[in-house]
């Protein structure tokens, strides 16, 4: 196996080092290291490869919007080395056959590790538990389960699911949305929805489910993960739960860290998303929660849709936005440019903590000797104009036209470059 040295990289703690890779491992970190092959990383920050706990890859069934391959390439461009693929495919990933199919497609693509998330209930219908144990024992080794897109709203089912996965160290990732409070809902319930005449989606629809489920987790002694927090009160509830010692983790999406419901005034459905964009006060609370550790991770909720489902009337449009290729830039803007946190915190919320929540042992170890060489090199000073197209097959990109800080320059996945000089490596296998 030949060596490669990444020269003069800045770690998240500020140290400038050389990093030697042999095969798929980091074997040495120091100064003045040399090898036949080297990459000059002067001015670049080396972070542990990002891990997304919430990605929609759309395969099987919706390949016009995204495939495991196209989504994996988008992820690599965003600095990711692992993604967790949500279960709302067609057929639904509620059994061993589908999760194994997605897992193998990920290996075949070879750009990131694709870890399938299993559905909590059969067909995401919220009526009976899916084959959680069979999915856990399958080749895909599923540990995260979610009906994302839908809430596990029946408290008895949610209780049984949490009890069941506790036996093998699994976790339920809840999409918190009380269906009775969101019938026909189109956007955040507030001043803007009243002015536009669009049906409002109250924050309490999310907050009430989070409150219920942290109490369930406490009574069962189970752990719980909450998807895409969107309101200030959701942050307050999770903060309260953590102070009480409840084993809960939470995520926030890039779009909820930057965008607000004012964008609905454009009537452009690219800004239609579930949960909806909220107010500037909510954005501020989400950023503060992410900086102070109440919110554990940034997860993209990358949700590709074909143009016919987004380029239409607001009411008819699908919910969701793409985000894999812009997430790190938005996190840099929300955490670092804002002065709220540093690169070490960004590395935690984009890599270390999501890997820990999901139990991904090959990811999230940091840039340390002996770890698998999953490394993202970021140019922190770059400014880039966001434009389509991207590696994703879909173009529902809410940041199009924005100028965002930072650029992923190189991504190493298991010791091999998947992105070089900000371009996808065409052949990785």
Q: Which of residues 210-229 bind Zn ion (CB under 5 A)?
A: 227
363 lines the binding site for Zn ion (CB under 5 A): no
Residue 273 vs 375, nearer CB to Zn ion: 273
Which listed residue (301, 315, 362, 421) is catalytic?
301
Closest residue by Cα to residue 353 from 50, 112, 111: 50
| Site size toward Zn ion, by CB under 5 A | 3
* Whole-number Å distance between alpha carbons of 13 and 1: 30
Closest residue by Cα to residue 368 from 350, 352, 349, 357: 352
Binding segment for Zn ion among 65-73, 147-155, 181-189, 398-406 (CB under 5 A)? 147-155
Residue 148 vs 282, nearer CB to Zn ion: 148
Residue 48 vs 205, nearer CB to Zn ion: 205
**Checking DSSP bridges between strand 403-413 and strand 416-420, what pairing results, if any?**
antiparallel
- Say which residues have a Cβ less than 8 Å from residue 295's Cβ, sequence separation at least 6: 229, 235, 238, 250, 251, 252, 286, 289, 349
Note if 421 is an active site residue.
no
Binding segment for Zn ion among 68-76, 171-179, 212-220, 303-311 (CB under 5 A)? 171-179
Residue 143 vs 175, nearer CB to Zn ion: 175
**Checking DSSP bridges between strand 25-30 and strand 3-11, what pairing results, if any?**
unpaired
CB of 123 vs Zn ion, minimal distance in Å? 17
Shortest-Cβ-distance residue relative to Zn ion: 175
Cis peptide before 275 (omega within 30 of 0): yes
Residue 45 vs 227, nearer CB to Zn ion: 227
User: Exactly one of 52, 148, 356, 379 binds Zn ion (CB under 5 A); which one?
Assistant: 148
* Whole-number Å distance between alpha carbons of 394 and 52: 18
CB of 404 vs Zn ion, minimal distance in Å? 23
Contact 408, 378 (CB under 8 A): yes
* Whole-number Å distance between alpha carbons of 253 and 299: 5
User: Exactly one of 73, 143, 150, 175 binds Zn ion (CB under 5 A); which one?
Assistant: 175
Binding segment for Zn ion among 31-39, 174-182, 382-390, 409-417 (CB under 5 A)? 174-182
CB of 381 vs Zn ion, minimal distance in Å? 34
First to last CA, the chain: 16
CB of 371 vs Zn ion, minimal distance in Å? 31
CB of 54 vs Zn ion, minimal distance in Å? 7
Q: Which of residues 74-103 bind Zn ion (CB under 5 A)?
A: none
Residue 148 vs 347, nearer CB to Zn ion: 148
> How buried is 134 (Cβ within 10 angstroms: 0-12 exposed, 13-18 middle, 19+ buried)?
middle
Residue 175 vs 407, nearer CB to Zn ion: 175
Q: How many helices (H) and strands (E) does the chain have?
A: 11, 19
* Whole-number Å distance between alpha carbons of 138 and 338: 43
Contact 81, 50 (CB under 8 A): yes
CB of 258 vs Zn ion, minimal distance in Å? 18
CB of 251 vs Zn ion, minimal distance in Å? 10
* Whole-number Å distance between alpha carbons of 302 and 289: 21
Within the chain, what is the greatest distance between any pair of CA atoms?
64
Give the catalytic positions in this structure.
Answer: 301
Contact residues toward Zn ion (CB under 5 A) are: 148, 175, 227
């Amino acid at each position: 196996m030949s060596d490669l040295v990444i020269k003069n990289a800045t770690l998240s703690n500020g140290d400038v080092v050389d990093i030697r890779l042999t095969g798929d491992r980091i074997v040495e970190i120091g100064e003045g290291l040399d090898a036949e092959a080297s990459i000059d990383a002067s001015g670049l920050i080396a972070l542990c490869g990002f891990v997304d706990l919430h990605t929609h890859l759309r395969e099987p069934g919706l390949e016009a919007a995204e495939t495991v391959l196209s989504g994996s390439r988008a992820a690599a461009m965003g600095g990711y080395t692992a993604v967790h693929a949500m279960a709302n495919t067609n057929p639904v990933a509620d059994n061993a056959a589908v999760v194994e199919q997605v897992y193998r497609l990920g290996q075949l693509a070879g750009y990131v590790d694709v870890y399938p998330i299993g559905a909590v209930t059969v067909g995401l219908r919220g009526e009976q538990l899916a084959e959680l144990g069979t999915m856990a024992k399958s080749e895909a080794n599923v540990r995260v389960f979610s009906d994302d897109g839908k809430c596990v709203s029946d408290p008895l089912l949610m209780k049984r699911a949490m009890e069941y996965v506790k036996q093998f160290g699994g976790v339920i990732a809840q999409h918190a949305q009380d269906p009775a409070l969101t019938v026909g809902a189109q956007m955040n319930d507030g001043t803007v929805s009243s002015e536009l005449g669009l049906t409002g989606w109250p924050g309490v629809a999310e907050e009430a489910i989070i409150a219920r489920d942290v109490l369930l987790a406490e009574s069962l002694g189970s752990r719980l993960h909450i998807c895409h927090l969107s309101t200030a009160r959701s942050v307050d509830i999770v903060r309260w739960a953590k102070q009480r010692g409840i084993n809960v983790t939470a995520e926030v999406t890039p779009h909820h860290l930057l965008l607000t419901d004012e964008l609905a005034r454009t009537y452009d459905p690219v800004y239609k998303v579930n949960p909806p964009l909220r107010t500037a006060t909510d954005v501020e609370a989400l950023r503060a929660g992410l900086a102070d550790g109440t919110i554990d991770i940034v997860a993209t909720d990358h949700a590709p849709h074909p143009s016919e489902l987004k380029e239409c009337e607001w009411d008819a449009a699908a919910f969701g936005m793409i985000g894999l290729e812009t997430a790190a830039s938005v996190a840099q803007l929300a955490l670092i440019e804002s002065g709220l946190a540093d690169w070490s915190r960004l590395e935690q919320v984009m890599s270390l903590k999501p890997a820990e929540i999901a139990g991904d042992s090959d990811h999230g170890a940091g840039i340390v000797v002996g770890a698998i060489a999953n490394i993202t090199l970021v140019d922190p000073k770059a400014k880039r104009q966001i434009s389509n197209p991207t590696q994703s097959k879909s173009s529902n990109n809410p940041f199009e036209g924005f100028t965002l800080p930072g650029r992923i320059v190189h991504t190493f996945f298991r010791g091999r470059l998947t992105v070089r000089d900000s371009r996808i490596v065409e052949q990785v296998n």
